[in-house]
Amino acid sequence: MNVLFVGAHPDDIEIWCGGTAALYAKQGHKVFFCIATNGNVGSASLPANEIAAIRKKEATNGAAVIGATLIWLGFDDEFLLDSRETRLAFIEAFRQAKPDVVICHWRSDYNPDHSISGMVVDECIHMAGIPNIKTETAPFLEIPHVYFMDTPAGVGFEPEIYVDITETFATKVKMVAQHVSQNGWMKNIFGYELEAFLEIPARFRGLQAGCEMAEAFRPSYRWGRMFKEHYLPGSLRGPQKMPD
């Protein structure tokens, strides 16, 4: 399968679903990381263009840990808007990745870039197949499975499907650790060391799911997307029937 993760900022995918991305990669699926914004406000000391360049390099390194392909959209951090330009950029990303599965942010997450990117994915995924909507790459007609990833500390997010990430948690930590510029910064904002920041929610979701460590998801239910199976790897709820 082709699996497309869409994150608002350069480290989001790794933080909230890096363990699941690592599982997909381990099972031989082709993984894409599409990052909507360039992270250009992610520093208290460096100017916007410098921190954006650093974060693109870090995102490349994070994706490289599992051999994921990076799709970098480059919108300004904290100012992702639901506009024609944004939708066309997302549609082009869908067409490049040709996904069987898309995983995006929850539509009412804590940060507007998260919520808007999740909303644009959920609203616009079917537009990838419409020929009169022109982008560089040809239309992609398949309708993928769409899942929302967890929110920070799980606030306002009631999971329906859990993925056991016990075996890939160390890989997840390694992926997040590539975002060197954000490690001290995150500690200042959230008050946690990197590994604890990842481990606490993983153990909490694991406690809910009946395994050591888990990541949590919800499917997007839309007409035309009411699939009987779901395509999350090694998951702990509901039927699973993934293509080879």
* Binding footprint of Zn ion on the chain (CB under 5 A): 8-9, 12
Please identify, using beta-carbon distances, which residue of 12 and 92 lies nearer to Zn ion.
Answer: 12
Token look-up 């040709």 returns: 98
In three-state secondary structure terms, 121 is helix
Cβ atoms of 191 and 117 closer than 8 Å:
no
CB of 147 to Zn ion, least distance (A): 17
- Least distance (Å) between residue 213 CB and Zn ion: 21
Angle, alpha carbons 147-68-51 (nearest 5°) = 95
Nearer to Zn ion, 12 or 58 (CB): 12
**Distance between CA 65 and CA 74 in Å, rounded?**
21
Taking the complex as a whole, the smallest distance from the CB of residue 107 to Zn ion amounts, in Å, to: 14
Nearer to Zn ion, 9 or 126 (CB): 9
Compute the least distance from the CB of residue 196 to Zn ion, in Å. Answer: 18
- Which residue is nearest to Zn ion, using beta carbons? 9
What single string gives the DSSP state of each residue in 180-240?
Answer: HHHHHHHHHHH---HHHHHHHHHHHHHHHHTSSSEEEEEE---TT---SSB--TTBSSS-B
The least distance separating Zn ion from the CB of residue 9, rounded to whole angstroms, comes to 3
Cα 148 from Cα 152, distance rounded (Å): 13
Give whichever of 55 and 145 is closer to Zn ion, judged by the CB atom: 55
Both tokens of 87, joined, read: 């939708």
Q: Rg of the chain over CA atoms, in angstroms? A: 17
Of the pair 9, 205, the CB lying nearest Zn ion is at 9
Q: DSSP 3-state assignment of 144? A: coil
At its nearest, how many Å lie between Zn ion and the CB of residue 152? 8
| Rounded CA separation 174/171 (Å) | 5
Nearer to Zn ion, 13 or 165 (CB): 13
In total, the chain counts a number of residues equal to 244
